[in-house]
């Protein structure tokens, strides 16, 4: 007798067996992916999110902690990102979401950073459905802003340079270069005389040093000479007085001789005193300004109104 087979029951049995097998594999594998709990956060981007796709990874310090669940426009101005992040991820009030492009592929992801241990956890504010994570400019946006600022600065510098280097200033600059070239040629042509002048200045400096070394002794000699002249004048003055007294008791002829000699002697004494005073003044001036021995006496500075 031929056995009849019910194919409906067999098909149903195969489907149930396959379902049980898949469920058993998933249960035995213990995949944590299916046991994780996720929280929803929102982030609003003020820049283009080109390269960011649904289910793009959300990373916290390089570790993947979630996915991008939804991408939409918020009132036609900002881009609204709905992020699905594992519960337990330290999302705090100072956490910042930044769009980051992976290498040269152009595929973007969301990077979370900027946490502070003391910051409180991020909570939804009154009237908000989900907590909102603050966002920051991406690397490309920062580079674009920096390059734009740099180009603007270069443009301003270029305009300033063009304003400074007008036709008149360029002519003056050319003239300055020509004058410098002429000066260089002149110095090269007179190199010998310049060397001679420098050698003479070196000898003058040596002589000045020697004169400065001899200056104390010279001043001492001048002072002694002045003292000697002063003593000689005093002695001559006393001798003149003595002669006058002696001549007072002599006859008239001798008196006439005294009248002729004594005035001449007084004149000599005055000249000696003046010479002594001049030596003293010279010694004082040399002490105040030793350079006058080489350069001579400098003219006095003009007074007010001269």
Residue pLDDT tens, the chain, 306 long: 445 556 788 788 888 888 888 887 877 665 555 567 899 999 998 888 888 889 999 999 888 999 999 999 887 778 999 999 998 888 888 899 998 887 677 788 899 987 677 888 888 889 888 999 998 888 878 888 888 888 888 888 888 887 777 778 778 888 888 888 888 888 888 888 888 888 888 887 777 777 666 667 766 766 666 676 667 666 666 666 665 665 555 544 445 545 555 566 667 667 677 766 776 676 677 666 665 555 555 555 555 555
- Pairwise CA distance, residues 283 & 276, whole Å: 11
Q: How far is CA 144 from CA 136, 139, 147, 243, 272, in A?
A: 14, 8, 5, 113, 95
Q: How far is CA 232 from CA 204, 238, 261, 271, in A?
A: 38, 10, 18, 12
Say if 259 falls within a structural domain: no
Is there a contact between 43 and 63 (Cβ–Cβ < 8 Å)?
no
Of 104, 136, 168, the position where a domain reaches its end is: 136
Give the global pTM: 0.44
Say if 280 falls within a structural domain: yes
Say if 65 falls within a structural domain: yes
Say if 283 falls within a structural domain: yes
127 and 212 both lie in a single domain: no
Say if 67 falls within a structural domain: yes
Of 97, 114, 136, the position where a domain reaches its end is: 136
Domain that holds residue 230: 203-246+267-288
Domain count, the chain: 2
Say if 272 falls within a structural domain: yes
Say if 62 falls within a structural domain: yes
Say if 277 falls within a structural domain: yes
């Amino acid at each position: 007798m031929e056995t009849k087979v019910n194919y409906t029951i067999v098909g149903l049995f195969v489907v149930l067996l396959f379902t049980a097998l898949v469920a058993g594999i998933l249960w035995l594998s213990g995949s944590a992916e299916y046991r994780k709990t996720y929280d929803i956060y929102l982030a609003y981007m003020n820049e283009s999110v080109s390269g960011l796709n649904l289910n793009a990874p959300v990373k916290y310090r390089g570790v993947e902690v979630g996915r991008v669940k939804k991408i939409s426009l918020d009132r036609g101005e900002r881009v609204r990102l709905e992020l699905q992040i594992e519960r337990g991820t330290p999302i705090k009030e100072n956490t910042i979401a930044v769009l980051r492009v992976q290498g040269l592929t152009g595929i973007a992801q969301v990077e979370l950073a900027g946490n502070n241990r003391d910051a409180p956890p991020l909570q939804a504010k009154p009237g908000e459905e989900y907590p909102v994570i603050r966002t920051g400019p991406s690397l490309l946006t920062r580079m674009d802003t920096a390059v734009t600022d740099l180009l603007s600065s270069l443009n301003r510098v270029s305009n300033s340079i063009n304003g400074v280097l007008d036709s008149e200033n360029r002519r003056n600059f050319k003239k300055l270069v020509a004058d410098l070239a002429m000066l260089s040629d002149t110095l090269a042509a007179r190199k010998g005389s310049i060397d001679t002048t420098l050698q003479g200045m070196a000898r003058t400096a040596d002589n000045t040093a020697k004169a400065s070394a001899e200056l104390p002794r010279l001043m001492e000699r001048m002072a002694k000479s002045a003292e000697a002249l002063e003593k000689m004048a005093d002695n001559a003055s006393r001798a003149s007085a003595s002669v006058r007294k002696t001549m007072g008791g002599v006859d008239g002829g001798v008196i006439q001789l005294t009248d002729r000699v004594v005035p001449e002697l007084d004149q000599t004494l005055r000249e000696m005193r003046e010479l002594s005073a001049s030596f003293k003044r010279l010694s004082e001036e040399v002490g105040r300004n030793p350079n006058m021995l080489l350069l001579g006496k400098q003219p006095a500075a003009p007074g007010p109104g001269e």
